[in-house]
Structure 1
Amino acid sequence: MQKKIAKLEQRIKDIKAELTQLGDMRPGSLSTQCRSWGGQYRQLSYTHRGKGHTEYVQDGVKQQVQQELRNYKKFRALTQEWIDTAIQLAKMKVDMQKAQNSKRR
């Protein structure tokens, strides 16, 4: 069980290191819209603090916005994995403590 605990603790350290490497980020999704009078434009839509937001995205910053969106998705995935791993680690530590206490009796 000690090896499993050490492995989980190492994974949490790795996740923290990966999080520090993420660059700028923003939530949302990028879509291409068509105007009725012609022409296409890109629109960024997201919800932040319970409010919906929409922004126009110029072609010159499209790549940057896409990278920020990818970084945010990576951030969300890593934090979810961190939480899952931390819960698993906490349960293992409690189980290990229970096992040690029952051996003392």
Structure 2
Amino acid sequence: MRYVLAMDQGTTSSRAIVFDSDARIHGIAQQEYRRLYPQPGWVEHDLHDIWQSQLAVARQALVKANITARDVAAIGITNQRETTLLWDRHTGEPIGNAIV
């Protein structure tokens, strides 16, 4: 059987859900990550925290579904629409925190 891995990267947590071809859920994982408040009314995220939490929940959801990445036929991604971030094009590293 082939599966879809849905990955949701929200403003408070990362989530991953494994579905089969009949849209039945086989594994779910969610992990919150820290928010940074450099000034009153400002919210930022450390991009390494986001990346690590998304990797962790993807792996956890696969384990809970008792499948491997080779069983995944497709990946669907949702993300933070209102958040801005910049990456260095040469190194792939973030230039600063994500601004929510």
For this structure pair, what is the TM-score category when the shorter chain's length is used for normalisation?
Answer: under 0.3
TM-score (norm 1): 0.25
TM-score (norm 2): 0.26
Q: Give the number of the structure whose alpha-carbon radius of gyration is greater.
A: 1
Structure with bigger helix share is 1
Structure with bigger strand share is 2
